[in-house]
Amino acid sequence: MEEVIVRTKEELEKAVSNKVKTIIIKGELAEKVNLSLKVKKSTLILLAGATASITLTSGLSLPLITAFTAPALTGEGIALIIAVTFLGIALVLALAKGYKKVVFRGRTGNSEAELVLERGN
Protein backbone atom coordinates (compact mmCIF):
# COMPACT_ATOMS: atom_id res chain seq x y z
CA MET A 1 0.00 0.00 0.00
CA GLU A 2 1.38 3.39 -0.96
CA GLU A 3 -0.52 5.86 1.25
CA VAL A 4 -2.98 5.69 4.13
CA ILE A 5 -4.77 8.23 6.33
CA VAL A 6 -5.02 7.33 10.03
CA ARG A 7 -6.83 8.92 12.95
CA THR A 8 -6.40 6.33 15.71
CA LYS A 9 -3.47 4.62 17.42
CA GLU A 10 -4.71 1.23 16.20
CA GLU A 11 -4.82 2.43 12.57
CA LEU A 12 -1.31 3.84 12.96
CA GLU A 13 0.03 0.58 14.41
CA LYS A 14 -1.49 -1.34 11.50
CA ALA A 15 0.00 1.06 8.94
CA VAL A 16 3.46 0.75 10.52
CA SER A 17 3.26 -3.04 10.68
CA ASN A 18 2.18 -3.13 7.02
CA LYS A 19 5.13 -0.88 6.15
CA VAL A 20 2.95 1.64 4.34
CA LYS A 21 5.13 4.04 2.35
CA THR A 22 3.32 7.27 3.30
CA ILE A 23 1.25 7.71 6.45
CA ILE A 24 -0.92 10.78 6.85
CA ILE A 25 -1.91 11.21 10.49
CA LYS A 26 -4.84 13.50 11.28
CA GLY A 27 -6.22 15.21 14.37
CA GLU A 28 -5.01 14.94 17.95
CA LEU A 29 -3.02 11.82 17.07
CA ALA A 30 -0.93 13.90 14.64
CA GLU A 31 -0.05 16.30 17.44
CA LYS A 32 0.94 13.47 19.80
CA VAL A 33 3.08 11.71 17.20
CA ASN A 34 4.77 14.96 16.17
CA LEU A 35 5.60 15.71 19.79
CA SER A 36 6.83 12.19 20.50
CA LEU A 37 9.18 12.24 17.50
CA LYS A 38 11.11 15.06 19.20
CA VAL A 39 12.49 12.56 21.71
CA LYS A 40 15.96 11.27 20.91
CA LYS A 41 16.14 7.55 20.12
CA SER A 42 18.72 7.01 22.87
CA THR A 43 16.40 8.57 25.46
CA LEU A 44 13.53 6.32 24.31
CA ILE A 45 15.71 3.23 24.65
CA LEU A 46 16.76 4.23 28.18
CA LEU A 47 13.16 4.99 29.10
CA ALA A 48 12.02 1.65 27.65
CA GLY A 49 14.61 -0.18 29.75
CA ALA A 50 13.74 1.73 32.89
CA THR A 51 10.01 1.22 32.35
CA ALA A 52 10.46 -2.51 31.76
CA SER A 53 12.52 -2.86 34.90
CA ILE A 54 9.75 -1.33 37.02
CA THR A 55 7.86 -4.60 36.80
CA LEU A 56 10.98 -6.46 37.90
CA THR A 57 12.33 -4.28 40.67
CA SER A 58 9.29 -2.20 41.63
CA GLY A 59 10.40 1.02 43.32
CA LEU A 60 14.09 0.78 42.45
CA SER A 61 13.54 2.06 38.90
CA LEU A 62 11.41 5.01 39.89
CA PRO A 63 14.42 7.15 40.87
CA LEU A 64 16.04 6.18 37.54
CA ILE A 65 13.02 7.36 35.52
CA THR A 66 12.80 10.53 37.58
CA ALA A 67 16.47 11.24 36.97
CA PHE A 68 16.01 10.96 33.20
CA THR A 69 12.74 12.85 32.99
CA ALA A 70 13.07 15.50 35.72
CA PRO A 71 14.97 17.97 33.51
CA ALA A 72 12.21 17.66 30.93
CA LEU A 73 9.38 18.47 33.32
CA THR A 74 8.49 21.74 31.66
CA GLY A 75 5.10 22.22 30.03
CA GLU A 76 6.32 20.71 26.76
CA GLY A 77 8.30 18.03 28.59
CA ILE A 78 5.21 16.83 30.42
CA ALA A 79 3.21 16.85 27.18
CA LEU A 80 5.98 14.86 25.52
CA ILE A 81 5.99 12.22 28.28
CA ILE A 82 2.20 11.93 28.02
CA ALA A 83 2.39 11.56 24.22
CA VAL A 84 5.05 8.84 24.39
CA THR A 85 3.12 7.04 27.12
CA PHE A 86 -0.09 7.16 25.08
CA LEU A 87 1.55 5.90 21.89
CA GLY A 88 3.85 3.41 23.56
CA ILE A 89 7.62 3.35 23.37
CA ALA A 90 7.68 0.50 20.83
CA LEU A 91 5.48 2.40 18.37
CA VAL A 92 7.45 5.63 18.78
CA LEU A 93 10.72 3.74 18.20
CA ALA A 94 9.26 2.07 15.10
CA LEU A 95 8.21 5.46 13.75
CA ALA A 96 11.55 7.09 14.59
CA LYS A 97 13.52 4.26 12.97
CA GLY A 98 11.35 3.61 9.92
CA TYR A 99 9.86 6.96 8.97
CA LYS A 100 10.91 10.55 8.44
CA LYS A 101 8.70 13.53 9.05
CA VAL A 102 7.80 15.28 5.81
CA VAL A 103 5.46 17.97 7.05
CA PHE A 104 3.47 18.90 10.14
CA ARG A 105 0.59 21.33 10.02
CA GLY A 106 -0.70 22.27 13.44
CA ARG A 107 -4.35 22.82 14.20
CA THR A 108 -5.51 26.26 13.05
CA GLY A 109 -9.05 27.56 13.22
CA ASN A 110 -11.37 24.80 12.07
CA SER A 111 -8.67 22.70 10.39
CA GLU A 112 -7.27 19.69 12.21
CA ALA A 113 -3.59 18.93 12.68
CA GLU A 114 -1.89 16.81 10.02
CA LEU A 115 1.42 14.99 10.02
CA VAL A 116 2.87 13.30 6.94
CA LEU A 117 5.45 10.55 7.43
CA GLU A 118 7.37 8.72 4.70
CA ARG A 119 9.07 5.38 5.02
CA GLY A 120 12.84 5.74 5.00
CA ASN A 121 13.63 2.52 3.10
Per-10-residue mean pLDDT of the chain, 121 residues long, equals 93 95 95 82 57 48 47 58 71 85 90 94 64
Number of domains in the chain: 1
Q: Give the pairing type, strands 99-105 and 114-119.
A: antiparallel
Among 39, 113, 30, 104, residue whose Cα is nearest residue 72: 39
What range does the domain containing 90 cover? 3-119
What is the reported pLDDT for 67? Answer: 46
What is the reported pLDDT for 37? Answer: 83
Among 3, 11, 2, 17, residue whose Cα is nearest residue 90: 17
